[in-house]
């Protein structure tokens, strides 16, 4: 019975890694759709978000069922409870990619991002993708050392977010209030995605060490 339970625990981790992979693809595609006004790709991201949602619902049901059937204690219970929280973070990250794709769709056939912010958004997408890929590895390997790196990666996103705000506040801004609102929201979507990744990394660190912070 213990061997079967361990297989089911491993299956939970595998599903979280699968979710992270789907979220990374969604974020990559959403960024591309946003920068190139690719309506087909934006629609794909929007439609595929339901897949991430369904995986989360199935994983949460499976996790709760494991808790009910096995009555786990100590580290096993901690793993299952933490998995519920990580699946919620990943689902929300998928939602943020969905929001980015909806921005691309809303402004089609125009490109939602003005030229002077195109490189900044491209870089935000690249850094987010890097962070999500790292989080996937952290979940799979339970790598506490790499988990500590994610907060530093998040600093890159925060700096890019501040750059967007500075551009919007510049007196030479010429794209109007509507585009300013779009860019404010888009910057926030990427920034929040990275914040959720930090949350996941902290949870993995806690799983491995029993502490949320390094002493």
Q: Which stretches of the chain are DSSP H helices?
A: 2-36, 39-70, 74-107, 115-141, 144-147, 150-169, 176-209
Of 100, 207, 106, 97, the C-alpha closest to 147 is 207
Q: With 80 as the cut, is the pLDDT of residue 215 above it?
A: no
Neighbours of 121 (CB within 10 A): 22
**Res. 211 pLDDT band, cuts 50 70 90:** confident
Q: With 60 as the cut, is the pLDDT of residue 95 above it?
A: yes
Q: What is the pLDDT of residue 214?
A: 62
**Res. 28 pLDDT band, cuts 50 70 90:** very high
The domains of the chain, with CATH numbers, are 2-209 (1.20.58.220)
Q: What is the pLDDT of residue 162?
A: 97
- The C-alpha atoms of residue 215 and residue 204 are separated, in whole angstroms, by 16
Report how far apart, in Å, the C-alpha atoms of 121 and of each of 118, 133, 168, 187, 203 are: 5, 18, 13, 8, 28
Per-chain mean pLDDT for the chain = 94
Q: What phi-psi label fits residue 176: left (phi over 0), alpha (psi between -120 and 50 degrees) or beta?
A: left
Q: What is the pTM (predicted TM-score) of this model?
A: 0.94
Asked if 65 and 28 count as a contact pair (C-beta separation under 8 A), the reply is no
- The C-alpha atoms of residue 150 and residue 10 are separated, in whole angstroms, by 23
Q: What is the pLDDT of residue 213?
A: 63
Q: What is the pLDDT of residue 69?
A: 85
- Mean pLDDT computed over 192-213: 91
Q: With 60 as the cut, is the pLDDT of residue 44 above it?
A: yes
**Res. 74 pLDDT band, cuts 50 70 90:** confident
- Mean pLDDT computed over 53-72: 92
Q: With 60 as the cut, is the pLDDT of residue 149 above it?
A: yes
């Amino acid at each position: 019975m213990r061997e079967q339970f361990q297989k089911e625990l491993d299956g939970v981790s595998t599903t979280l890694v699968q979710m992270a992979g789907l979220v990374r693809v969604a974020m990559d595609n959403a960024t591309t759709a946003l920068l190139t006004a690719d309506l087909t790709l934006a629609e794909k991201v929007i439609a595929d978000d339901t897949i991430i949602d369904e995986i989360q619902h199935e994983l949460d049901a499976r996790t709760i069922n494991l808790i009910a059937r096995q009555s786990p204690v100590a580290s096993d219970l901690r793993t299952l409870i933490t998995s519920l929280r990580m699946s919620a973070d990943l689902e929300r990250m998928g939602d943020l990619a969905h929001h980015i794709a909806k921005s691309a769709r809303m402004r089609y056939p125009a490109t939602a991002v003005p030229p002077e912010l195109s490189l900044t958004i491209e870089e935000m997408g690249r850094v987010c993708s890097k962070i999500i890929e790292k989080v996937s590895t952290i979940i799979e390997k339970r790598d506490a050392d790499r988990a500590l790196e994610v907060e530093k990666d998040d600093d890159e996103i925060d700096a890019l977010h501040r750059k967007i705000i500075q551009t919007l506040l510049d007196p030479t801004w010429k794209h109007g209030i509507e585009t300013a609102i779009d860019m404010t929201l888009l910057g926030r979507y990427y920034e929040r995605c990275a914040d959720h990744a930090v949350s996941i990394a902290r949870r993995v660190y806690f799983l491995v060490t029993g502490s949320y912070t390094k002493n």
